[in-house]
Structure 1
Amino acid sequence: MLAYLIFWYQVIVASEPLLEDAIASLRGDGFEGELRRFYRKHLEDERNHAKWLREDIGDHPIGLDMKAAALAGTQYYLIRHVHPVCLMGYMIALEGGTISPKVIEAIDSELGPQASRTVRIHADADPHHIKELLAFPIPDEFKGLVEASRQQTLTILGGLHGAS
């Protein structure tokens, strides 16, 4: 379960910077203004989660996981070179998974209940977040980009998504 926490730490550590990049890349009013406001709210929802998860992991070293780097790297590219709306697909993929109580039990059993703090927070918050994400009105012209980003995220996650 330590490897699980370390992988998700490496994914979550990119959450705030990705949202900040997307916010900075959005121009204008209308849809982009609404998306910028939505991203700002989600940024506040995600604030400090990487810090908390790092605390949950304790003194264990964090190596490089190329799958986590690929997830974030794809989004940096899409935000900067395609459109910041692509981040919605990534967020839908990540927030749309469910965290099984068995995952939390396994973390508690292997590492102690303090190690599952941030995972528990996400288990409680993600169902609300996915509802917000799916309710956000994406114009038809951007729906294909959002779906492509979602599919790419799920492809990179592979079998890990079921445990997310």
Structure 2
Amino acid sequence: MAKLDLVMPALRAGTERMWRHPAPRELYREWLRALHGMVRATVPLILDATSACVARDDELSRGVAAYLAHHVPEEYGHDRDVVDDYARAGGDPAALFTDPPPPCVAAVVGSQYYWIKHAHPVALLGHIAVLEGHPPPPELAPILSRRTGLPMDAFRTLVTHAVLDGEHREELWRAMDKLPLTPEAETLIGLSALNTAHGLTQLVDAVQLRANAAGKERSWRPSTNWKPPAST
């Protein structure tokens, strides 16, 4: 996982820049939209990887399946939390299921399905390591609440993951230390992690572009009190 040191600085820098966006409310809503596209795939990915492990029934697969079976209950409901935050932030929850997320979301998630089916389900551990290996700082939600003017109830996902992700990260490291990882498995985990980190960097850029577009649309929208000038 040392390979992540090559890409994580760019992801961290992009994330910090994203949260300083001049249209914070639009930015936060666009981030929730993109996040929902990623989070809603978590449980299905884990279930598919578990099934693939059971079908293989080798020592490594049994170890991965045991970890995933323990981990999957902790992931249920997180997509619902994002939907609720989006509604509290003024978004239409139905749009989360009808409007497609940025293509990089499909690319990141789709690569996991490929590696689970055509390589080895251990690849999913690299994906999880990136998603839960760098929890948001506890102070981020209050800062964003002040910047956006939204209530703290609209930031429950950030608040929850500031605590849970650190715990999940430690659980993952302990599980990986016990796995009989081959050099090939370690390479696959690293490749998966790098791919996810790269995809999240693209996602940060996509969220900012969407927030820019949303901000421009809002600034150009005529007031409901606006009336056309009288003809001469």
Query: Is the 1:25–1:80 Cα contact (8 Å) retained in structure 2?
Result: yes
Q: CA deviation at 1:32?
A: 1.4
Q: Alpha-carbon deviations, 1:109-134, whole Å to 9, x = none?
A: 32321111122111101111111112
Q: CA deviation at 1:31?
A: 2.3
Q: CA deviation at 1:49?
A: 0.6
Which AA in structure 1 matches 2:46? L
Query: Is the 1:108–1:114 Cα contact (8 Å) retained in structure 2?
Result: no
How many residues align? The count is: 161
Segment drifting more, 73-82 vs 135-144: 135-144
Q: Does 1:21 align with 2:48?
A: yes
Q: CA deviation at 1:105?
A: 2.5
Q: CA deviation at 1:29?
A: 4.8
What is the aligned-residue RMSD (CA, Å)? 1.9
* d(CA) in 2 for partners of 1:128, 1:101: 14
Residue aligned with 1:85, SS: helix
Q: CA deviation at 1:100?
A: 2.9
Question: 2:197 aligns to what?
Answer: 154
Q: Does 1:140 align with 2:182?
A: yes
State how 1:2-81 maps to structure 2 within 5 Å: 2-26=29-53, 27-58=56-87, 59-60=91-92, 61-62=95-96, 63-64=99-100, 65-81=102-118
Segment drifting more, 137-146 vs 88-97: 137-146
Q: With structure 1 as the length reference, what TM-score do the two structures score?
A: 0.89
Return 5+ residue gaps in structure 1 as ranges: none
Q: Does 1:88 align with 2:129?
A: no
* d(CA) in 2 for partners of 1:28, 1:101: 41
Task: Considering Cα pairs closer than 8 Å and 6+ residues apart, tell me whether 1 or 2 has the greater RCO.
Answer: 2
Greater C-alpha radius of gyration: 2
Q: With structure 2 as the length reference, what TM-score do the two structures score?
A: 0.64
Q: CA deviation at 1:5?
A: 1.4
Q: CA deviation at 1:107?
A: 4.0
Q: Alpha-carbon deviations, 1:59-85, whole Å to 9, x = none?
A: 522232212211111111111111100
Q: Does 1:129 align with 2:168?
A: yes
Query: Is the 1:35–1:85 Cα contact (8 Å) retained in structure 2?
Result: yes
Moved beyond 4 Å, runs of 4+:
none
Aligned sequence identity (%): 27
Which AA in structure 2 matches 1:40? A
